[in-house]
Structure 1
Amino acid sequence: MTASTTRTLIKNVRPWGAETTDVVVADGVVEKVGAERDGEQVSTHVIDGDGRIVLPSFTDAHVHLDSTRVGLPFRPHTGRPGVWGMMMNDRENWRNTETPHRDIVAGTMERMIAAGTTRIRTYAQVDADCKLERLESVLFAKEKFAHHAHTQNIAFPQAGLLREEGSVEDLEEALKNGADVVGGIDPCQLDRDPARHLDIVFGLAQKYRVGVDVHLHEPGELGVFSAELIFERTRALGMQGNVNLSHSYDLGSVSPAVSARLTDEMAELDIPWISIAPAVNAPQFNLMQLTEAGIRIGLGEDGQRDYWSPYGDCDMLSRTWQLAFTHHLRHDSHIELAAAIATWGGATIIDPSLARLASATDRPGFNAGDPGDFVLLEGETVTSAGPLGERSFIEARSWPPPEKWWL
């Protein structure tokens, strides 16, 4: 132990609601769980958790910070049906504020951090209308709060790649200017040329050595078809572990045999699933089954009181309860799994070097070397903490950008 080591003792806390203990963090990572003994290095900082539950800090694995209206006066919803109609509503309104766009984005990120989220995967729309304006706002917020949260930016072609001239060039420019991941969306329904759409997305990923994240809202067998095309390219290009499926809520509603096959392929190719816990009538993927299969799962808020919907409150604990509710979870252990997904699950998507959830009963984040970012919750158990409980968070600022997949 060197004299320059910064150590924090978080005493009198209950990891995942277990027995009261202490957590020692050294230079931003967990050193050990348990009290300091006589003769050991005295901690630089001491925080008394007063018996609260301690969890890894939250990860918002899917949020559109570039569309947020958090902090602005409420406005009636004016969206039109369908992805294209909602996107056009966003396009028509996002500039019409007195507050500069980058300050709105940064203000929303600040509220997320205040609620205990220290890892963020945010999309930045890139299209014929905004070019790189929205990406620049997201990059501004990322830099402003770099010491409080690790942010990963996805260049996202919300309007598709084939419907408007210059879309592909704009997306490539975003990758040249700071985007970490290249996005895709509904290759069949939106662009109506899935092979070309995915060839462009994966081609850019190969050229700029970045990962891929595809929004998949397509229903039933159409969604299965697009997913299979994504799997084919992932396998052929050796991009296992670097391609994510977002939404994809209908893939769990097809026949049990097809869902089982998709689960097997996602596990083989290490393709994570990122949910926003939508209210859909059809069955979704089973959280327990995907976790037991070794598939990484993340959770996000999607919109934040934006031009798509009035929902989203910057609070991932609230969204954790939505995940449990929309998956019909009742048992405490299952609700705790939802919390593990909202905290650690998304972290493993941002940084695949972290050990993924080993099982549906795994309660991670307190092994030596784990990131020392935590959230403290009031409550007797994780389930009893609820979305209305008081919370605070402890950040160790321990999140350097993870290594790129091609190194």
Structure 2
Amino acid sequence: MTRSLLLSNVRLADGQPVSVSIAGGRIAALGAQVEAQLGGLVEDGGGALLLPGFVEGHTHIDKTNWGQSWYRNEVGPALTDRISNEREWRKTSGHDAAAQSLALARAFVQAGTTRLRTHVDIDTDARLRYLDGVFSTRQTLSDVLDMQIVAFPQSGMLIRPGTVELLGSALAAGADVLGALDPALIDGDPVASLNATFELAERYHKPIDIHLHEPGEVGAFTLKLLLDRVEAMGMQAQVVVSHAFCLGALPERERDALLERIAHLRVALLTSAPPSRPVPPLKLCRDKGITIFGGNDGIRDTWSPYGVPDMLERAMLIGMRYDLRRDDDIAIAFDCVSNAAAQGCGFSDYGLHVGARADLVLVDAQSVAQAVVSRPKRRLVVANGRVVARNGELVDAV
């Protein structure tokens, strides 16, 4: 059983000095006059800034090369080039989804991520092999990392017969969320593709997280079809649209009409804030009440050599992509990898309040904005009430 813990001499984002009492993996008390429980552990925070554990809202830990030798990327520019190359490489290289997902997940924890949503490839070549590898990682780190797994048809669904059935098997086996991918440009039939997706979600009582890379008017058409199904099937607050590049490229009138429906149906949006693609309008989405949050997407894989498992860096990249310069605006970028991400993914009991799961990060920074910009070494990471990293290094038990 985890011993009680007191974090003393820490500061909230508003500068208020507090202590945090942790018992049973939860925040038991938070305030200026909190004392240690009898026999409990005490950690002096040294005046560090107290942040909630970070949330990775969209990544692909099953396909990473993290910690491995350099992958020479010579892939063609099209989305289908990357999909085909990756599928062949994973089939022939001996890539181990269990070992690699564990290595990347541990690196996430080391840098302060305590909640994570990962998309895992389901296809007719690998079937459920990659899923089984990530299931193993989830079990290994279950005490410290709250992981949601998305069953994701990376190679397409309708264009590869048998994939629908495999997705159903993945959901039955324990995947938390049903994924989908570009119903028009990959599957070639957005109506049939979305029908199959929503029928699976209804059958297995699962939420949906769809990759929508489709640009401009094509993306808008698919998005309208998706929103129609959300409304018809009563799936409000159960759907995430990841990337949603089309929302960054449409005329304002058409874009705003879509945003109004997205807000009304409580559909959430995910952005990795890529520098080379259109992105949904962050502040406008928030003003309309839309939950928009952040994630890394792939990290060091055959798609891209970029990315690190550090959500403060992702927050910084969100801030740079959206030209967030004021301290209060940079705090919005941090919200994208903390509270908004927890809300968008449906992670419960999150935050800095009594009763929340005790997922906490201490950094030497004067403010949230400085933490995002400077990305200091994590002085302490607490996950589910346990100290899991100290001074930027995992403790032995993790």
Q: What TM-score does the superposition give when structure 2 sets the normalisation length?
A: 0.91
Moved more, 291-300 or 317-326: 291-300
2:162 maps to which residue? 166
Q: 1:5: Cα distance to partner? A: 9.5
- Do the aligned residues in 1 keep the contact of 2:300 with 2:307 (CA within 8 Å)? yes
Distance 2:109 2:34 in 1: 33
The answer to whether the aligner puts 1:378 opposite 2:364 as a matched pair is yes
Match of 1:155 in 2: 151
Aligned to 2:61: 65
- State how far apart, in whole Å, the 1-side matches of 2:229 and 2:140 are: 36
Number of the residue aligned with 1:341 = 336
Residues 191-210 of structure 1: matches in 2 within 5 Å?
A: 191-210=187-206
CA distance in 2, matches of 1:158, 1:32: 44
Q: Which residue pairs with 2:389 in the alignment?
A: none
Instruction: Classify the secondary structure of the residue corresponding to 1:12.
Output: strand
Residues 17, 53 of structure 1: 8 Å contact kept: no
State the shift of 1:53 in Å: 1.0
Residues 380-389 or 56-65, more deviating? 380-389
Residue from 377, 380, 384 that aligns with 1:390 = 377
Asked if 1:247 corresponds to 2:232, the answer is: no
User: Is residue 190 from structure 1 mapped to residue 177 from structure 2 by the alignment?
Assistant: no
| Equivalent-residue separation in structure 2 for 1:137 and 1:37 (angstroms) | 42
Q: Quote how far apart the aligned CAs of 1:272 are.
A: 0.7
Q: 1:248 & 1:37 partners in 2: Cα distance?
A: 45
C-alpha distance after superposition, 1:291-343 (max 9, x if no partner): 23322222111111001000111111111101111111111111111111211
Structure 1: how far apart are the matches of 2:232 and 2:290? 20
- CA change 1:55–1:308 in 2 (3 A) is same
Distance 1:330 1:167, change over 3 A: same
Amino acid at match of 1:381: S
Specify the alignment match of 1:142 in structure 2. 138
Q: How does 1:10-25 map to 2 (within 5 A)?
A: 10-16=7-13, 18-25=15-22
Contact 2:227–2:261 at 8 Å: present in 1 too?
Answer: yes
CA distance in 2, matches of 1:37, 1:379: 23
Quote the offset at 1:42 in angstroms: 4.0
**2: distance between equivalents of 1:174 and 1:330?**
43
Paired residues for 1:162-311 under 5 Å: 162-280=158-276, 282=278, 284-311=279-306
Length-normalised TM-score, structure 1? 0.89
Counterpart Cα distance in 2 of 1:94 and 1:52: 43
Alpha-carbon distance between aligned partners in 2 of 1:149 and 1:165, rounded to the nearest angstrom: 34
1:90 alignment partner, one of 86, 92, 95 = 86
Gaps of 5+ in 2: 387-398
Q: How many residues align?
A: 384
CA contact (8 A) 1:78 1:307 kept: no
Tell me the distance in 2 between the aligned counterparts of 1:113 and 1:56: 13
The alignment partner of 1:191 has SS state of coil
Letter in 1 for 2:41: H
What is the rounded CA distance, in whole Å, between the counterparts of 2:96 and 2:210 in structure 1?
29
Q: Is the 8 A contact 1:135 1:174 kept in 2?
A: yes
Secondary structure at the aligned position of 1:301 is classed as coil
CA RMSD of aligned residues (A): 2.1
State the percentage of identical aligned residues: 33
Q: Which one of the candidate residues 80, 98, 102 is aligned to 1:106?
A: 102
Q: Deviations over 1:328-366 (max 9, x none)?
A: 1111111111111211211112326568xxxxxxxxx32
Corresponding residue of 1:350: 345
For residue 5 of structure 2, what is the aligned residue in structure 1? 8
Kept in 2: contact 1:184–1:214 (CA 8 A): yes
Gaps of 5+ in 1: 356-364, 399-407
Deviation at 1:81, TM superposition (A): 1.8
Q: Which amino acid aligns with 2:81?
A: G
Distance 1:328 1:370, change over 3 A: same
Match of 1:362 in 2: none
One-letter amino acid matched to 1:374? L
CA deviations on 1:248-274 (whole Å, 9 max, x unpaired) are 022132122222222211111111111
- Corresponding residue for residue 28 of structure 1: 25
**Cα distance in structure 2, aligned partners of 1:77 and 1:334:** 36
- Counterpart of 1:239 in 2: which secondary structure? coil
What amino acid is the match of 2:321? T
